[in-house]
Amino acid sequence: MKKDTIDELFKSLEGSFDLNEPADGHKERFLRKLNQETKVVQISSSSKSKWWKPLSIAASIALLIAAGSTLFINQPTVEQQVANISPEVSQTQFYFASLIEDQIKELESASTPETQKLVEDTMIQLKKLEANYVKLEQDLIEGGNSKLILSAMITNFQTRIDLLQEVMNKMETIKNFKTYNDENLTI
């Protein structure tokens, strides 16, 4: 007997496949006949399982909406929470922050190669002071001693301003010293 390849097998069976769908109710008639012959009682009917899929889809959508709504609810920012605790701090913070920002711009614009290292060190110190300020804000929000924390926050701003003033004075001294040495240099 000759072995057919799969392609030859399908070519020989081409056109003999039943492609028609069974008539409506075929499954129920089949199960009824099967139950009559084997005397088995049917536990679930197809009408009960039809409502299960839409219900599970609706429950999944409701769960996704509930989870999504908790993620997208706007949480107040730290600044808003601090402003709720003490509105004066918010105004003071805005004033000091703009003053410090102006001084930083002035410092960076006045920077020379001789003072570059001084400016870099100053920026590192300012970042440390900013990190301390963020901790103080968090302590204030968590309900610490508000008068003491508010005082420390203002001191932090004043320290930053004093640091920037001191660096500007040192840069001016370096500039004057360089100018003085250049004038007295004879060739």
For 138-175, what is each residue's pLDDT tens digit?
888 887 677 888 888 889 989 999 999 999 999 888 88
Q: Is 155 a domain residue?
A: yes
User: Which pLDDT value is given to residue 4?
Assistant: 57
- pLDDT exceeds 60 at position 15: yes
Boundaries of domain holding 163: 78-181
In a domain, 41, yes or no: no
Q: Is residue 45 in some structural domain?
A: no
DSSP string, 22-62: PPTTHHHHHHHHHHHHHTPPP---HHHHHTHHHHHHHHHHH
What pLDDT score does 78 carry?
A: 66
CA count, 13 A, side-chain hemisphere, 45: 6
For residue 87, being part of any structural domain is answered with yes
**pLDDT tens string 80-126:** 666 666 677 777 778 888 888 988 888 888 888 888 888 899 999 99
Domain presence at residue 146: yes
Task: Give the other-Cβ count within 10 Å of 85's Cβ.
Answer: 16
Within-domain flag for 36: no
Q: Let me know if residue 66 belongs to a domain.
A: no
Q: Does some domain include residue 10? A: no
Alpha-carbon span 134 to 153, nearest angstrom: 9
Q: For residues 104 and 63, give the distance between their C-alpha atoms in angstroms, rounded to a whole number.
A: 50
Look up the pTM and report it.
0.53
- Total domains in the chain come to 1
Q: Packing angle between helix 146-184 and helix 116-141, nearest 10 degrees?
A: 170
Buried b (16+ CB within 10 A) or exposed e, 2-37: eeeeeeeeeeeeeeeeeeeeeeeeeeeeeeeeeeee
Question: Confidence class of residue 1 from pLDDT cuts 50, 70 and 90?
Answer: very low
Q: How far is the C-alpha of 92 from the C-alpha of 157, rounded, in Å?
A: 9
Query: Which residues touch 89 (CB under 8 Å, ≥6 apart)?
Result: 82, 83, 140, 150, 153
